Amino acid sequence: MPADYTYQRNHRSTGSLILLPAIWLALIGSAVLVDAAPLLIGILAACTLPLLWDLIKNPPAGLTLTQASLKWHSGTQTAEIALKEIELIRLDTRLDFSVRATVILKNGRKIRIPFEATPPHQTLENALHAKAIKTERHHFSLRQ
């Protein structure tokens, strides 16, 4: 009997910790060096506020695959699906090379696993195959 699979992560990442100050420095530099319009600087700075909030709050995300169910959580969202209800899990590679996972139930309903709760695709696919769950791979489709 295969062991349970668990994936955990936090929203805070090294890339975010580097990107936010870099954007702010670029905005300050453009205001000082090229005399950019304060309204434009303010609008662009406001676009960074969700990233700042994620860095401060650092909500956890993860996925657990047990003998009986598939569970995931992301921030305040949680979901649990019994394995016997799952027809297959579709793994779509997007144009930015990220992989999105969609659970397709036996009744035809589709449930998207949040991106931040999705493990690396090959690891997830191996864990699903170990539990005898069918997977489907689709590469670079513009529509679903």
Span 28-54, pLDDT tens digits: 999 999 999 999 999 999 999 999 998
* Residue 144 covered by a domain: no
Residues 66 and 127 in one domain: yes
- The residue ranking higher by pLDDT, 12 or 79, is 79
pLDDT tens-digit profile of 107-136? 999 999 999 899 998 999 999 999 999 999
Residues 45 and 67 in one domain: no
Q: Produce one character per residue of 83-120: b if its CB has 16 or more CB atoms within 10 Å, e if not.
A: eeebbebbbbeeeeeebbbbbbeeeeeeeebbebbbbe
- The boundaries of the domain holding residue 50 are 14-57
Residues 84 and 115 in one domain: yes
- Would the pLDDT of 1 be above 80? no
Residue 25: per-residue pLDDT: 97
Residues 68 and 112 in one domain: yes
Q: What is the domain count for the chain?
A: 2
Overall average pLDDT of the 63-69 stretch: 94
Q: For 86, phi and psi rounded to 5 degrees?
A: -90, 125
Give the rounded percent of residues in the chain with a pLDDT score beyond 90.
74
- Would the pLDDT of 81 be above 90? yes
Bridge partners of residue 61, in order along the sequence: 9, 74
Q: How far apart are CA 61 and CA 78, in angstroms?
A: 9
Query: Model's pTM, two decimal places?
Result: 0.75
